[in-house]
Amino acid sequence: MEVSKVVVFQVDNEQYAVPVENVISIEKMSSPTVIPQMPDYMVGVVRIRGELVPVLDTMKILYRRPYVETEKTRLIVVVTEDISVALIVDDAKEIIDISPESIKQVNMLAYRQTSYFIGVASLPERLITLIDPNQLFESLEGAKTIKEHMQNHQ
């Protein structure tokens, strides 16, 4: 397995990363248009490059509490198998290379119960939890509702 390029971001005080090939863009936070009857972690939709994209509150998904917008708040637009989604993150840090040797499989129960955590990159000064955006979106309760809504409104 070769070196993986990932986009590192921060949610709360933790660092996470998604594979760079899943990332379409990193955008400044903009006010999403709220859509009624959607799951509580979906704060609305934004138009990015002409496409309507659902905006997901990563803080709510990971920590069950709403995000707090700051100057550094960003949207990381990722593509999953079916749909593009924008993840609200506290800060989009950087793009780095992670070697396979630095990725550890974590056997803690919380990680085993969370299908979208694909490992932890153990780097000299920090740990970065790697997230599979496909698994993340598919694991969300109500993902199907969001997909159907977006297909009907493109």
At 103 the pLDDT is 85
Class of the domain covering 4-146 = mainly beta
At 39 the pLDDT is 94
User: 37 to each of 40, 137, 151, how far by Cα in Å?
Assistant: 9, 18, 16
At 117 the pLDDT is 86
At 107 the pLDDT is 67
Residue found under tokens 């069950």: 64
At 90 the pLDDT is 97
Cβ proximity of 38 and 153 under 8 Å: no
Query: 79 forms bridges with which residues in the sheet?
Result: 84
At 89 the pLDDT is 98
Q: Angle at CA 80, nearest 5°, toward 51 and 117?
A: 140
At 72 the pLDDT is 97
Query: 10 forms bridges with which residues in the sheet?
Result: 15, 91
CA atoms lying within 13 Å on the CB side of residue 94: 4
C-alpha–C-alpha distance, residues 118 and 103, integer Å: 9
At 104 the pLDDT is 80
Kindly tell me the burial class for residue 126, based on how many C-beta atoms sit within 10 Å of its own C-beta (0-12, 13-18, 19 or more). Answer: exposed
Per-residue pLDDT in tens (0 to 9) along the chain, 154 residues: 456 899 999 999 999 999 999 999 999 999 999 999 999 999 999 999 889 999 999 999 999 999 999 999 999 999 998 899 999 999 999 999 998 888 887 666 555 667 888 888 988 889 999 999 999 999 999 999 999 988 887 6
